[in-house]
Amino acid sequence: MTAGADLLAGLNPAQRSAVTAPLGPVLVLAGPGSGKTRVLTHRIAYLIEALGAAPEHILAVTFTNKAARAMASRLEALLPAAAGAARPNLGTFHAWSARLLRRESAYLEVSRDFVIFDEDDQSTLVRQAIKDLGYDPKQVPPAKIQAIISQAKNEMVAPEAIASGSHVQTIARQVYARYQAALRNNNALDFDDLLTQAARLLREHPDVRERTRARHRHLLVDEFQDTNSVQYELLRWLASDTADLFVVGDADQSIYRWRGADYRNVRRFSQDYPQAQVILLEQNYRSTQTVLDIAMAVIDRAPGRQPKRLFTDRGQGSRVTVYEAYDESDEARFAVDTIAELAAGNHARPGDCAVMYRTNAQSRSLEEAFLRAGLPYRLVGAQRFYGRREVKDVIAYLRLAHNPDDQVSLLRVLNTPSRGLGAKSTASVLEAAAGGGQSPGRLLLLLGSGQATLPTGLSGKAGAALLEFGRNLQRWRTLSQNGTVAGLIEAVLADVKYRAFLEDGTEEGVERWANVLELCNLAAEYTDLDLAAFLESVALVSDQDTLSDAQDVPTLLTLHAAKGLEFPVVFIVGLEEGLLSHQRSLDEKDALDEERRLFYVGITRAMDRLFLVRAFRRRIGGASLISEPSRFLADLPADCIHGDLPYGRTQAQSVYLRQTRWETPVASFPPLQAQFAVGQRVAHSTFGEGVVLETRLEQDDEIVTVSFAKVGVKRLSAAVAQLEILEDE
DNA sequence: GCATCGGATTTTTTT
DNA sequence: AATCCGATGC
């Protein structure tokens, strides 16, 4: 059998030793661009092909659906599955946990049909709990309480166990207890519960543990540095005695500390599994050496890290440009002008470029500059699709039909669109439900089927509206159990005249209706999903997952959103004290270290060209303030930088500098080596397999013409399209 | 129930 | 500055 040999071709020695490591705990420390996804997918293939593992016994966990999908498609290219054959289990921690909880729902305080509450739902409940306890939401910030609760959950701390050192903590403890009770009453779990309950089940119930371990004999974890305590505990319970636990991560890219992620889990792993093999991936396939030198100069100042020596054979590349703009609009103009010049000179395509920033608010001036220049752009993550009011409304109707106990959804839609049921009517419904010992949703269902009478004190008009709502709810519930999701949405929209409600004559109204239609299309696509599955997939997607990369336009995104991505040309803007690093991180050492890592993550997204930009003055809130350059700029090695300019240059000077900028760096850019050859067989994640017809080097990119079996001839940029070379048999 | 006004708020956000 | 939330008035 040569099964193993094929898999290993094209891997460097470090990657190969990771892929072929014997079963047991393995810790792969993967620098940026070192091919960690490649290692993960090859490891899975190796488990199956060479070690004879059953695919269904493999579980690979990621943090985003997108990462899971990417892994699935690369795995498919590597190891095409026979029809009907079992596939490895790939998914996010949360999706996996939700599945476990539904399977083992007998051990839960909620039923198998539980809904998943997102952060919006959470704040509704927390706010409600604060009010119920007689506190003023103004004096007790719900967001802060919510953060304390979430943190407690992630550390597996029960309400009673919250320290009562401060006033806020005392209140948080009460709110926490009430909040948990409210979740139970709503037959709901929040994001944190998915993980904590899964961990609890594994900890407290040996039978569940055994069953679950039997299903997943081989575990793999991506972005391990981002795991929090619960996720780590989950993995520890999940790992059987053989502990075939293969984790890949990079503590230097840990940027979610404020979300509970603890990169010290990397160290903990080595302590808990002293026999673990540790493999360092240091060769970078993404960036020029100059970019790596800058990155290392920045990260080497971070204390207490495992040193890594990143290297590449891509050559030195052009120097990094540091530009000091006058203000935020000059900064934006610089980015737009430079991208336009690069595109006009054929040095890069617009879609190769990305502009990264610390806070979403910074996207504004950039968007304005793009609009003024008449250039299209793509904005990542400002407003998530499922977070939009109209989409949430429709989903609330669906959730209510699915789970009538969901009071948060009921209260959301009871008077949306308005049907004359205000605060007073709502209160009497809640009161009547509480008096009858059931949820308000159930009461309305009974009302709709004529098995209950109107609560006392409801006048004719409100009563009629309530009756109609109950009848509708009854119908939707029947539809939810028998019909398709798309059919249910259609019925709801028609019954409540939702379109008329949205379309108020404004442009915004039209847009909102368009979003609803998009949701309908989405539902129509998933004909194989029942309502429960649809709601779950909707609850567990993020805006990151809906990011499409079809158009050839520049991308604007936060540094956080940039993790895991790469671009030939990267701008990092707003390199000022108070912004990067951010104001709120200045008084805490650990927070400041994380800002440094965030900058490092941004730098290492760049393949060829990197621009670091700061503004001399910036409008923050109301006032325009003179800014200090970011402390990180001082760490950059001078010989890697192009444009060592005094701060506070005038606008006229910047224009002059901009016009002359391109002569040197472009000329000094080293020629690229061709990666592909005519006649070679290659695989593309969406186009499938094909044969290379032609390849040529163009500026700093390789243009490959491929004839695909399924979609015909395509011209692709090797830098953008991830083509995998297939070995001939 | 809806419009309007005043006041507070403003980091990042895998699920 | 701009947006979001809540209270107030009609």
Listing DSSP states for A491-523 in one string gives HHHHHTTHHHHH-SSSHHHHHHHHHHHHHHHHH
**Percent of chain A, pLDDT > 90?**
43
Active-site hit among A37, A174, A604, A699: A37
pLDDT at A546: 55
User: Residue A36 catalytic?
Assistant: yes
Distance from residue A630's CA to nucleotide B10's C1', rounded to whole Å? 21
Q: A581: which nucleotide lies closest, measuring CA to C1'?
A: B11
pLDDT band at A672; cut points 50, 70, 90: low
Q: Give the distance, in angstroms, between residue A621 CA and nucleotide B8 C1'.
A: 13
From the CA of A366, how many Å to the C1' of C1?
16
Tokens 């060592």 locate to A644
Q: Residue closest to C6, CA→C1'?
A: A138
Q: Using one digit for the tens of pLDDT, what is the confidence trace for A685-714?
A: 777 788 888 777 665 567 788 888 877 777
Q: What is the mean pLDDT of residues A437-451?
A: 91
Between A136 and A316, residue with greater pLDDT: A316
Q: What percent of chain A has pLDDT over 70?
A: 91
Report yes or no: A187 and A406 within 8 Å, Cβ to Cβ.
yes
pLDDT at site A267: 92
Taking the C-alpha atoms of residue A456 and residue A458, their distance in angstroms, rounded to an integer, is 6
Q: Give, in Å, how far the C1' of C4 lies from the CA of A575.
A: 29
> For residues A144 and A70, which has the higher predicted lDDT (pLDDT)?
A70
CA of A405 to C1' of C4 (A): 29
Q: Give the pLDDT of residue A247.
A: 97
CA angle A305, A306, A311 (to 5 degrees): 115
Positions of strand C less than 7 angstroms from a protein CB = 1, 6
- Give the pLDDT confidence score for residue A626 in this predicted structure: 85
Instruction: State how far the Cα of A5 lies from the Cα of A306, in Å rounded to an integer.
Output: 32
Confidence label for A517 from pLDDT (cuts 50, 70 and 90): confident
* Tens digit of each residue's pLDDT (9 = 90 or more) over A32-52: 999 999 999 999 999 999 999
Tell me what pLDDT residue A542 has.
Answer: 63
Cis-peptide, bond into residue A274, ω within 30° of zero: no
Q: Specify the nucleotide whose C1' lies closest to residue A418 (CA).
A: B1
Judge whether A321 counts as a catalytic residue: no
Give the model's pLDDT for residue A49.
Answer: 92
Residue nearest to nucleotide B7 (CA to C1'): A138
Are A60 and A90 contacting, i.e. CB atoms less than 8 angstroms apart? Answer: yes
- Chain B nucleotides reached by a protein CB under 7 Å: 1-2, 9-15
Q: Which residue is closest to B8 in terms of CA–C1' distance?
A: A138
Q: Does residue A668 register a pLDDT over 60?
A: no
Task: Identify the weakest region by mean pLDDT among A338-342, A504-508, A646-650.
Answer: A646-650
Of A274-278, A301-305, A407-411, A650-654, give the lowest mean pLDDT range: A650-654
Name the protein residue, with chain letter, whose CA is nearest the C1' of B10.
Answer: A621
Token readout for A307 is: 């040193």
Residues packed against strand C, CB within 7 Å: A 127, 137, 621-622
Report the pLDDT value the prediction gives residue A59, as an integer from 0 to 100: 96
Catalytic residue among A153, A217, A349, A605: A605
Determine whether A563 is an active site residue: no
Q: Which of A36, A319, A399, A563 does the annotation list as catalytic?
A: A36
**A297-A302-A307 Cα angle (round to 5):** 75
Taking C1' of B14 and every protein CA, the nearest residue is A63
Phi, psi of A50 (to 5 degrees): -95, -35
Is A223 annotated in the active site? Answer: yes
Q: What is the pLDDT of residues A277-310, one digit of tens each?
A: 999 999 999 999 999 999 999 999 888 888 888 9
Residue A548 has pLDDT above 90, yes or no: no
Helix/strand/coil (H/E/C) assignment for every residue in A395-451: HHHHHHHHCCCCHHHHHHHCCCCCCCCCHHHHHHHHHHHHHCCCCHHHHHHHHHCCC
Q: Which nucleotide has the least CA–C1' distance to A92?
A: B15
First vs last Cα of chain A: how many Å apart?
12
- The pLDDT value given to residue A55: 94
Is A283 tagged catalytic? no
The nucleotide whose C1' lies nearest the CA of A137 is C6
Q: Which nucleotide is nearest to A621 (CA to C1')?
A: C1
Q: Which two tokens stand for residue A287?
A: 């960036």
CA–CA separation, A695 and A715 (whole Å):
9
Q: Which residue has the higher pLDDT, A513 or A545?
A: A513
* pLDDT at site A729: 37
Q: Residue A454 in contact with residue A467, Cβ under 8 Å?
A: yes
pLDDT of residue A665: 31
Q: Per-residue confidence at A383, pLDDT binned at 50, 70, 90?
A: low
Distance A621 CA to C1 C1' (A): 6
Under 8 Å between Cβ of A351 and A720: yes
Q: Read off the pLDDT of residues A92-134 as tens digits, 9 standing for 90 and up.
A: 999 999 999 999 999 999 999 898 988 888 888 888 888 888 8
CA of A503 to C1' of B3 (A): 19
Question: Which listed residue (A104, A223, A233, A608) is catalytic?
Answer: A223
Q: Is the pLDDT at A551 greater than 80, yes or no? A: no
Query: Residue A382 has what pLDDT?
Result: 63
Q: In angstroms, how far is B3 C1' from A232 CA?
A: 51
Determine the pLDDT at residue A18: 97
Residue A272: pLDDT over 80: yes
pLDDT exceeds 50 at position A228: yes
- Among the residue ranges A32-36, A511-515, A725-729, the one predicted with the least confidence is A725-729
Q: Name the nucleotide nearest A144; use CA and C1'.
A: B9
CA A129 to C1' C2, whole Å: 30
* Per-residue pLDDT, A526: 77
pLDDT for the residue numbered A700: 53
Which of the pair, A20 or A548, is modelled with greater confidence?
A20
Nearest nucleotide over every DNA/RNA strand to the A420 CA, judged by C1'? B1
Q: How does residue A391 score in pLDDT terms, banded at 50, 70 and 90?
A: confident
Residue A654 pLDDT > 70: no
Selecting among A104, A118, A121, A222, the annotated active-site residue is A222
CA of A63: nearest nucleotide by C1' is: B14
- Give, in Å, how far the C1' of B8 lies from the CA of A265: 39
Catalytic hit among A197, A225, A231, A253: A253
- Residue A222 annotated among the catalytic residues of the structure: yes
Taking the C1' atom of C2, which residue's CA lies nearest? A621
Per-residue pLDDT at A720: 63
Q: How confident is the model at residue A547 (pLDDT cuts 50, 70, 90)?
A: low
Mean pLDDT of chain A: 85
